[in-house]
Structures are given as C-alpha cells and as structure tokens.
Structure 1
Amino acid sequence: MKWTWDKSDAVLMCGMVSAVGAMAVSTLVSCSCWLLFILLWGVFAGIYIISAALEVSPEGRCVLVTGCDSGFGLALALHLNNLGFRVFAGCLLAESGGEGAKQLRQVKSGKLHVLQLDVTSPKQISAAVEQVKKIMPKGEMLWGVVNNAGYSTYGEVEWVPIDIFNKALQVNTVGLIAVTKAFLPLVRKAKGRVVTISSGLARMAAPMRSPYIVSKYAVEGFCDCLRYEMRAWGVKVSIIEPGNFIAATNIFTKKGIEDTAEIMWKQMSEEVKKDYGRSHFRARVDLMKKYANTGDTDLSPVLHAFTEGLVQRFPQVRYNPMNLYFRARLFVATHLPEWVYERLYIQ
C-alpha cells in the first residue's frame, strides 16, 4: 500500500474523532483523557489503515477506460494491463491513426484491447458494449468503468461561444453519463466499480475556466447520485479530483491556446470587444500560456488514485491526487468563508 495525502487526512480525522470521544467519555467517567485519546486514535487509525490495505485481485476482472489517446488514459491502460487486468482501451482516434492507439496496439499482450470510442457518439458506445461482450472470455467480468475522456478549454464567460460550452458538456458530462449507463448492467452483475475523473476545480472554481468547470461540477453531482443508487447493487463509485497536471498531460499547448483565442475574438460581439479591450484580452491569453507550463509532471499520483478506486475493497468516495498547495487551497475553498478564498486565490 502506497501512503498518500488522502490517507494522512483520514488518519488525522481519526484523531479528531478520537479527541471528541475521549473528552466526552472523560466527562462521564473518571479516567485520563489523554490516555483514552491515544488509545482510541491508535485503534481507529489501525482499523482504517488495515481496511485501506485490503485489495481485490485483478485476475478475471476487466476494466473499460475511456480517453486512452493520450495523458492519463493512455498511461492508465498500460498500467492496468501490467497489473493483470484485461483492459478495454477506448480511443477517439483508434480508427484514424491516433498515436495513442498505435502505442497500445504495439503492446505484446492478449489482455489489452483497443476500441474505437467517441463518448459523444451513441452508435460508437453501443458498438463498444457489443465488442466488450464479444471479447470478454467466459468466466471473466467487467469489473470497472473508468470515465477518463475529457475536453478542456478556457476563456471568460462573455468570450466563449455557446457551442464551446456545449462541447464541454457533451464530452465531459453527457458523454460520460452515456458511457456509464451503457456499461452499468455489466458492472452491476460484477458488483464492480465506476471510477470517474473530475477535477480539483470542481470544488474550487476559478476565472477563465467556466466551460470546463461547469461540466465538472455536473460530473460531481452525477457521481454522487449514482453512488447512492448503486449501494443496493454492491457497486462502488469513486471520483478522482486531480490538482494541476497540465505539464504532464499537455492538455493545453501554446498553439492550442492561440487557436482558441483567435476563435473567441472572431466570434465576440463588437460591444464585448470594446468593453474588454484587446489589451486585457491578450493579457489573459498570455496568462493562460504561462499556466500551460505549470503543474506536476509526474502522472503516478493520479494513476495510483485510479488504481485504488478499482482495487481497494473499501475505496474512497473521493481521491485528491494533488500537491500541498492545491490541498491547502481546496481546504480553504470548502471549509472557510468565500471571501477568504477570493482574497487569497482569485486575482
């Protein structure tokens, strides 16, 4: 078991609960509050650590991963294959010469299967379900669906064309829901897992990212509802909320940022152009270019979170693979008054 910030948070929470319990008991019974606190903390933390270390075997279990053309999806498909899972890697460009699909097909493994899968295409989703049923050997089960496919963009609300908002919602939310619904009967039979990538920005919004953030807030709500509904079926639903991994995934490039800026400026009304001004617009675009070079370059924290969501017997509801800066920012955003978060982080 790899130790993570999430596990540290859980052990600290055990300590807080133990402190409250020790104080409550010590007021009713004459005993040492400190001794009871240490005893309770040790017991609760020990139970948590043991439960977090319990895992299922990949043997006989299959996992579907969407968005395997690059980034997290590509790396995760290879990682899960190495662990022993049968992996169905959905790629947008599987039939169009995509580099990710080519790399996956070069792997010498009988348990790694590349599927053509555009999550916005009902036809391709249905075809993928049939392929999985056909390929999956008798005695194996679809243990997990990993919703990883995504689309990211930027821009202030008045700058972004409505079709870009629609695209973000179609890929990040509606397509995700469609894939989940299509494969859920198979996952229910296996009492398996649905693991979905969201974002740290789904719990702490920021300017210039509204299309992306709107879609990710919706993903969080969908996964929460699904988790409640799937309890009766024994299916566990987890959300991955990464910090900034732009430098590792290349989800933003300088060329892509410039192309988006050109589209936004051309489609902006003359009134909006005049009110905001070209200089302000360019300053925000340049800021986005700087942002594109930031973030963690190591994908392993996210891959580990995905893996734990699939193999832990008692998976977390939310995994937060992010550095200390983003963990502190998330805490401020979710536990302190709004004005504190805005004063500290919103420019």
Structure 2
Amino acid sequence: MSMFSEAAWFFLAVTAALGSIVLCKHKSPGQLGSPVLWLAGLFGGAYLLFLPFFWSLVLFSLSCLLMCVYSADQELLPVDQKAVLVTGCDSGFGHALVKKLDKLGFTVFAGVLNEKGPGAEELRRNCSTRITVLQMDVTSPEQIKDAYSKVVEKVQDKGLWALVNNAGILGVTMDGELIPMTEYKKCMEVNFFGPVGVTKAFLPLLRKSKGRLVNISSMGGGVPMPKMAAYNSTKAALTMFSSILRQELSKWGVKVSVIQPGGFQTNITGISDVWTKKEKDILDQLSQEQLRDYGQDYLQVQKAFLNSMEKHSSPDFTPVLRDIQHAISAQIPAPFYYPGTMVSIWVYLASIFPTCLSDYCFKKLVAYGECTPRALRMPN
C-alpha cells in the first residue's frame, strides 16, 4: 500500500476517533457543533487534498493542540457557594433547576409566582438553608424591585453570579388569526418583557461579578411552527434580545447564553384545562365570519393539539438541566444550547433549507389530529 493511501486512511481514522470522543464528551448539541465541524472539516479537507504524510502529521498535531484548548474551556468553575437567581420556580425547569443547583452547593434565589403555593413550599421543605424563595411575578416591577433588594441584602459583597430567566407561559395554541389579542399581549408580557425587566434590574450585579445571564427560550424561537404564533414570537424576541446583549455585555465580562429546549413536560401547556377555561372567551372574540369559515369542529380540534403536545414531550429534564448548569459554570459557555430530541436539526433546518421544504416539515411536525376549516371543505 502506498504512502498516499496510508495517509488517507489515517485521516479517516483520526476523524472518526476524535469525532466520537467529542460526541461522547459533549453530549449536548449546543456544545458539540463547533468542534465536530472543525474536526470533520480539518481531516476531511486533508483527506480530499491528499497532503503529504509529513504535513498531515503536522496538521494532526495542531488540531490536537486546538482540541486540548477547547476541552480546557469546557472545565466547570468551582461552585464556591456562588449566588444564582432563577425565575419561574413554581414548577417545571425552574423548580428542578433550583434543587439541582442547591445540591451542587450554589446559593439559590428561587423566584416564584406564588410564594405560598405547593411548589414554593416543596422547595423550602426539601432544599438546604442556602435557598431563598422570593415572591416574584416577572410582570410586576414592584415585585422585581423587592426581589432585587432582598438579593442585594443577602449576597452583599459576594455579588450575584448568574441570572436564569426561566419564567414563561404557553398561552393559546391555535391559528394566529384566531388567537385573541389579549393572549398575544399576555404572552409577550410574561415571556419577553418579563425577562427584559428582570435582566435590566439585575445587570448591575452581574456586571460586578462578571457573571452569567442565561435565558430560557425555546426551539420555537427559531422554528416557525403553526398554531404557535403567540408563543414562538415571544421566544424569537427573547432569543434576539439575548444575542444582542451577548455582544453588548462582552466588554463587561458577562457571558450570555440561550437555552432552546424542545418538547418537555413542564406543565407549561396546562394540558386541556387551558383550552377549557379560555374556550368561551376565545369564541366570544371571534367574528361571525371567522366562526362560519373555520367551524366549531375546527376550533375543538385545538384542544386535542394540547393533549398531543403533552403526549409527545419528554418527562426527563436532564438534558435541559445539564445545559443550564454548563452555561452557568463553564469557563467559556456556549452562546446557544439545544437540549431535546432533534432540536438542533429542526433549528438548522429552519435556517438553511428552502422555505417550501422547511414549511412542509414544520406543518407535519404539528399535524396531530389536523382538521380542515369548514369553508375549505365546502364545494365552490
């Protein structure tokens, strides 16, 4: 076998080996994209260019050096009782995250919508004395200001290391034309203006500590899914806000990360109860023309869509919690994380595929129990 062939096989073997190592070490799609791409490109390119064996070894050595530097960046900083504020801790991601951070030794401030509710009481009962439960409706400037005062009083010179904006609501899931304006405004108030207000209030503390801002967005922030006009629009706004702050706060040493999870069972859907409680209000705000064109049966199908969302969501929060911990503790956190099955693929699909193809895929993604509006079923 010639030296040329040996070099080619060498490149392929190294690409496979190092690629596997990266995939095993960095399990989150949000963390493995860059190293996999440059490894594959480096060795794949060398293979295609058929570099002489000597220069191929030089290239391999340099790539190993870069890999070592990258791996060092992934080392987690010591906890050292760093203080973290998490919003939306009554249930879901926030509730689970507080428990995880508490076990790791962080000083945790858990913002809840109801400080006397079952979620808040469970945190007080099961967590250590390092946790402080705060009444914190993210849409209330007064409660944000009060929470800020309590955090400052407790952390004093230690400062606040990280803010995790997690609070959010799903709102009504149906065709954008049928979603009431009140729902659009409520979603925007909680999912976007809420995190913006909390961030603005606590940024002085984060700048002082050169800490971390972690915003929990959604796969929907980058993927245009039918029936999710209100929710996805707010998450897209939050993602863009975070990306701009990432650039602006870099001069202060503050790292900004966005978590874009897929479907998880966080109680954000409220299952079918959400539709039952709001059905009358939704019907009342529709015009007679809309009721005639869409039909009562079409509107009822939307309730089944909520059930299907819950059914196809994962009950295991581990990927999300792992990524949030990494964003809080890594020396150089990733700007984006995509926990969940195929989330990164859907986001990339929305970014690079032709619109006609991506639209078709996204329609199929949410086509559970799809029904055609009555006007489209009627003969011309």
TM (normalized to structure 2)? 0.83
227, 246, 254: which one aligns with 1:208? 227
Residue 18 of structure 1 corresponds to: 42
Query: Letter of the aligned partner of 2:269 in structure 1?
Result: I
Q: Deviations over 1:139-173 (max 9, x none)?
A: 42200010000011212112111111111011110
CA contact (8 A) 2:222 2:236 kept: yes
Residue 58 of structure 1 corresponds to: 79
3-state SS, counterpart of residue 290 of structure 1: helix
Residue 71 of structure 2 corresponds to: 49
The 1:32–1:108 alpha-carbon spacing in structure 2 relative to 1, beyond 3 Å, is: closer
1:175 and 1:159 mapped to 2: Cα distance?
A: 25
Residue 350 of structure 2 corresponds to: 333
Residue 260 of structure 1 corresponds to: 278
Residue 142 of structure 1 corresponds to: 160
1:121 and 1:250 mapped to 2: Cα distance?
A: 20
> Shift of the alpha carbon at 1:11?
2.8
1:287 and 1:4 mapped to 2: Cα distance?
A: 28
Query: Letter of the aligned partner of 2:124 in structure 1?
Result: R
Residue 306 of structure 2 corresponds to: 288
The 1:104–1:39 alpha-carbon spacing in structure 2 relative to 1, beyond 3 Å, is: same
The 1:267–1:179 alpha-carbon spacing in structure 2 relative to 1, beyond 3 Å, is: same
2:76 and 2:345 mapped to 1: Cα distance?
A: 29
Residue 174 of structure 1 corresponds to: 193
1:335 and 1:32 mapped to 2: Cα distance?
A: 37
User: 1:320 aligned to 2:333?
Assistant: no
The 1:162–1:337 alpha-carbon spacing in structure 2 relative to 1, beyond 3 Å, is: same
The 1:214–1:68 alpha-carbon spacing in structure 2 relative to 1, beyond 3 Å, is: same
Structure 2 unaligned spans of 5+: 1-24, 365-380
> Shift of the alpha carbon at 1:19?
4.3
CA contact (8 A) 2:112 2:137 kept: yes
User: 1:231 aligned to 2:253?
Assistant: no
The 1:200–1:227 alpha-carbon spacing in structure 2 relative to 1, beyond 3 Å, is: same
State how 1:100-115 maps to structure 2 within 5 Å.
100-107=119-126, 109-115=128-134
Percent of aligned pairs sharing the same letter: 32
State how 1:2-17 maps to structure 2 within 5 Å.
3-17=27-41
The 1:283–1:3 alpha-carbon spacing in structure 2 relative to 1, beyond 3 Å, is: closer
1:269 and 1:8 mapped to 2: Cα distance?
A: 49
> Shift of the alpha carbon at 1:132?
0.6
CA contact (8 A) 1:198 1:239 kept: yes
1:342 and 1:36 mapped to 2: Cα distance?
A: 45
1:36 and 1:21 mapped to 2: Cα distance?
A: 14
CA contact (8 A) 2:30 2:344 kept: no
74, 99, 102: which one aligns with 2:95? 74
> Shift of the alpha carbon at 1:248?
4.5
3-state SS, counterpart of residue 160 of structure 2: strand
CA contact (8 A) 1:18 1:40 kept: no
Q: Which has the larger radius of gyration?
A: 2
> Shift of the alpha carbon at 1:43?
3.7
> Shift of the alpha carbon at 1:218?
0.6
2:296 and 2:127 mapped to 1: Cα distance?
A: 53
> Shift of the alpha carbon at 1:5?
3.1
User: 1:343 aligned to 2:360?
Assistant: yes
Moved more, 260-269 or 124-133: 260-269
> Shift of the alpha carbon at 1:307?
0.6
3-state SS, counterpart of residue 27 of structure 2: coil
The 1:2–1:13 alpha-carbon spacing in structure 2 relative to 1, beyond 3 Å, is: closer
The 1:338–1:251 alpha-carbon spacing in structure 2 relative to 1, beyond 3 Å, is: same
Cα RMSD (Å) of the superposition? 2.2
Structure 1 unaligned spans of 5+: none
Q: Deviations over 1:191-237 (max 9, x none)?
A: 00000000001111111111101111110111011111101100000
> Shift of the alpha carbon at 1:21?
6.5
3-state SS, counterpart of residue 292 of structure 1: helix
1:125 and 1:312 mapped to 2: Cα distance?
A: 28
2:268 and 2:179 mapped to 1: Cα distance?
A: 21
275, 283, 292: which one aligns with 1:274? 292
